Amino acid sequence: MTTIVLTVIGIVIFVFGLLFSIAWHELGHLSTAKLFGIRVPQYMVGFGPTLWSRKKGDTEYGFKAIPAGGYIRMIGMFPPGADGRIESRSTSPWRSMVEDARSAAFEELEEGDEERLFYTRKPWKRMIVMFAGPFMNLVLAVVIFVGVAMSFGFETQTTQVAGVQKCVISQSEKRQSCEKGDPVSPARAAGLKEGDKIVAFNGAKVSTWSDLSNHIRDTIGPATLTVVRDGKQQTLHAKLARNMVARKDSNGDVVPDKYVPAGYLGFAAQTEIKPLSFGASVGRMGDMVGNGVDSIIAMPSKIPDLWNAAFDGGQRKADSPVGVVGAARIGGEVMTLHVPAQNQLAMMLFLLAGFNLSLFLFNMLPLLPLDGGHIAGALWEALRRNLAKVFKRPDPGPFDVAKLMPVAYVVAGVFVCFTLLVLVADIVNPVKIT
């Protein structure tokens, strides 16, 4: 019963964080739109039926029933057609999409709005309005991540021994128990014990796990270990074995399911949580952004594994895409972990930071109906208008983004299908942290 209650509390906390992130995103659009004199009839958090709303000035502010997104409505998102009309109809379904989008952009047009239309603003202003939403998510992600990294920190491996392996097992075999014929691990043969702190390797001082790990990997054969045991220094002699160990990337992080031959000692390192400096926190944030970009690029390649996990009982990989439902489940799971409350808080905040970073990266894709698609349209308009000036040609006028609405519907359809696939996988075969 207690586990269920804690899980629900974690889910509720994440949902409130999600709602704040959405409201924060839309606030970026709203504030810059109003700054540039664009009329905004609605600012809504959520979709579906309206639960609560209040009108202040030109804008209706409110919450809707489904906390899966949000929006603001700006007057004149698309320019009128070539004939100046906005309600012409067509028998072509593709053309009707264009006309419907154009009509919706003007459906709440009031007297005096002619000077408050989105499409009449200069391209750089429209780019700022559309970029402001994702940028707010990026700011929130950076503030949360750097703040928690500097105040709480990260779990870091040290040079102190947490345990000694009994035998040499190739890490690619993914087994824990020794079998007949496995050689004794070099650490055990050398007399290394739990609690020893390694302070030097082959006479070179080591103060971090990264330095020690690199020395071990680069050495196959005899080596000397200087350790502190019970307050006294001792020198141990080991003969490091050649073994298949996890590959590391340029940042020193383990690459999942990739192995390389390297030196092997055979012990587990003790861990501790250490706050990072501002520079180190920003560096880790940069790594997080890079990993996020890689994940976005690799998303199509994850579809087969998602399908197998959702419908064929396949294993759900740790780096599998996770939706709102999956993230909420992780939030609930965090609250059930047997760790100090400050650890739970830090994990929940890191989850929220990761969610906001994903919102930023996803919305910056140059595809309609995403913010990045509107930014790309404004950039193209600026380019062709400036080229027209250079070559002394007539001003081509605003770029009609509405003409791309058929493509936007296709993109939206693909996103909906992918979201549904992730949703099913999150329900039947969720990513777990325990």
Q: What whole-number distance in Å separates Cα of residue 338 and Cα of residue 344?
A: 9
Rg for the chain (alpha carbons), in Å? Answer: 28
**Can you name the residues that pair with 233 across neighbouring β-strands?**
228
Angle at 111 between CA 108 and CA 116, to 5 degrees: 75
Q: What whole-number distance in Å separates Cα of residue 214 and Cα of residue 80?
A: 64
The yes-or-no answer on residue 26 being catalytic is yes
Instruction: Kindly state the helix (H) or strand (E) to which residue 420 belongs, with its residue range.
Output: helix 405-428
The token pair that represents 308 in the structure block: 């197998």
Which residue out of 26, 99, 333, 381 is catalytically annotated? 26
Q: How far is CA 2 from CA 327, 343, 348, in A?
A: 21, 19, 19
The token pair that represents 7 in the structure block: 């899980």
Q: What is the 3-state secondary structure (H, E, C) of 12-66?
A: HHHHHHHHHHHHHHHHHHHHHHHHCCCCCCEEEEEEEEEEEEEEECCEEEEEEEE
Sign of CA dihedral 150, 153, 158, 160: positive
Strands 232-248 and 221-229: antiparallel
Residues 6+ apart with CB under 8 A from 401: 77, 78, 368, 373, 374, 377
Residue with tokens 């009707």: 96
Catalytic residues: 26
